[in-house]
Amino acid sequence: MQSRRFLSILLTVALLLTMLSVAVVSVSAAESYELVIDGVQVTSDNADDILGNGVFTYDASYNALIVSGDYTAASDDYIIDNAIEDLIVYIDEVVSFSGEDFAICTSANMTLTGGTLQMDTGIYVVNNASLTIYGMELIIDDDACVWGITGDEEDEELCIVYSDISVSTEKAICDFGTITLDGCVITEPIEGAIVDGSIVGVDGNVASDVVISCYDEEDCQLMIDGVAVTSENAADILGDGVFSYDFQTSVLTVDGDAAAADENLIIENNLAPMTINVVSDSTLIGGIESYYDLTILGDGALTVDSGDEMNCGIYMQNSSSLTIDGMTMTIYGTEWGITGDLDDETLLIINSDVTASSIYAINDFAAISLQGCRIISPDGAWISGGDILTADGDIASNVVISTADAGYVLGDANSDGEVSILDATRIQRYLAELIDADGIDLLAADVDLDTEVTIFDATRIQRYLAELCNLDGTTPYIG
């Protein structure tokens, strides 16, 4: 009897040891991944529901982290801290992240894709890793946050592909080795550009508010003589060395002459705000049309001729603005030279010599402003709202704007080098015939550019000094 009891005990102990060894083997078999979610290490045991709240799931077979709901960090750790090479983070529909530190940090190549991700903290890419944002919407909005999407000032890469991105932080997108855009463009800041791995504004500083917009290749394009500009042909769009386009800086370079085929515009911009850089004397036949803000500058002189098939030299639409900066330009049109669309389009000509000839030379803008240049022909021509009119009040057919007589400061009627209340007083004294023309700079005194000095010029200066408007009459005041 005792031997049987002893044998039973041995069998029980053996069974317990076997069960314990199985448990030990089971525990030791759990695989640990180089991925941490809010301080919790991801393993094969918790991968199906990493935090136990149904938000985060890791599928090792696809190397994918699926995010299925909103999450607020419970610690000071990154919400997603990744070191898995080529991890895919998939955002299911609309997700919101909130935390104290960066929401996402990756030290290995990673792709972010899916639906919409909204965050009040940023993304940090380190260890020379690359981040690809593909086919999604990403919103990072917290003015108190320093960085939006940032590298580590090494060779990190950011690639944004067919995505809509909006970042509002102190430094929105910066400190990468390279940034590339594919199927999307910078739409804010205006004339924003990628410089040394950061997105900067016109002042050269890292932008605090950046918007990158995806475009539909079917409906939203830059066309050169009927040819859509793509990443494949951007370096030499027509194959003749005349046109090239940089998607990162939104600069179209023109270097030579080109004539559009029948019924084509030579340049049709339905893509994004853009700069045309004319690097050599060039003649373009076929007309320019833009639905977005357009700046024309460069070292070369530019002639634009609408040709027989088109009726406008330059046609601005969709409340866009045209800026001609430091250029020599000649514009011909069968009906219109430089024209808006009777909407809120604006024209600004800076330090440029411009000749426009057509039935209607320059008209249909909401506002026209000249800086460092003046209308010299026809005699008595003046700006009325968004039109340049003859002395008789008709829209001028031939307009010459020149820098030749521009050696003055607009508004500086007393020629002391600054605009002050003394200038308004000088105009008033001239109008009251207390001083003659020798005592006033009549070019500088004609603040509203209507070719005559009136009380409205003195009033414009007073409103400008009171910061109620700019010298060109526009509001709000920007100094």
Which pLDDT belongs to residue 264?
85
Query: DSSP string spanning 349-385?
Result: EES-EEEEESSEEEE--SEEEEES-EEEESTT-EEET
Which pLDDT belongs to residue 4?
45
- Residue by residue, pLDDT tens for the chain (479 residues) are 444 444 454 444 455 445 544 444 444 578 999 999 999 999 999 999 999 999 999 999 889 999 999 999 998 889 999 999 999 999 999 999 999 889 999 999 999 999 999 999 999 999 999 999 998 999 999 877 899 999 998 899 999 988 999 999 999 999 999 998 887 888 899 778 899 999 998 888 999 999 998 866 555 678 999 998 887 899 999 999 999 998 778 899 999 999 998 778 999 998 888 999 999 999 999 999 999 899 999 999 999 999 887 899 999 998 999 999 999 999 999 999 999 998 789 999 988 999 999 999 999 999 888 877 888 899 888 888 889 999 889 999 999 999 876 567 889 999 888 999 999 999 999 999 999 888 898 888 988 877 789 999 999 999 999 999 888 777 787 76
pTM of the model: 0.57
Look at residue 26 and give its three-state secondary structure.
Answer: helix
Look at residue 121 and give its three-state secondary structure.
Answer: coil
* Peptide bond between residue 273 and the one before it cis (omega within 30 degrees of 0): no
Domain ranges of the chain: 32-214, 222-402
Which pLDDT belongs to residue 449?
77
Radius of gyration of the chain (CA): 32
Whole-angstrom Cα distance, residue 259 to residue 273? 23
Whole-angstrom Cα distance, residue 378 to residue 396? 8
- Alpha carbon distance, N-terminus to C-terminus of the chain: 107
Instruction: State phi, psi for 218 to the nearest 5 degrees.
Output: -75, -40
Whole-angstrom Cα distance, residue 31 to residue 470? 67
Instruction: State phi, psi for 44 to the nearest 5 degrees.
Output: -65, -25
Query: DSSP string spanning 405-436?
Result: T--S-TT-TT-SSS--HHHHHHHHHHHTTSS-
Partner residues linked to 174 by β-bridges: 150
Measure Cα distances from 320 to 120, 241, 270, 329, 386 in Å. Answer: 32, 29, 11, 20, 13
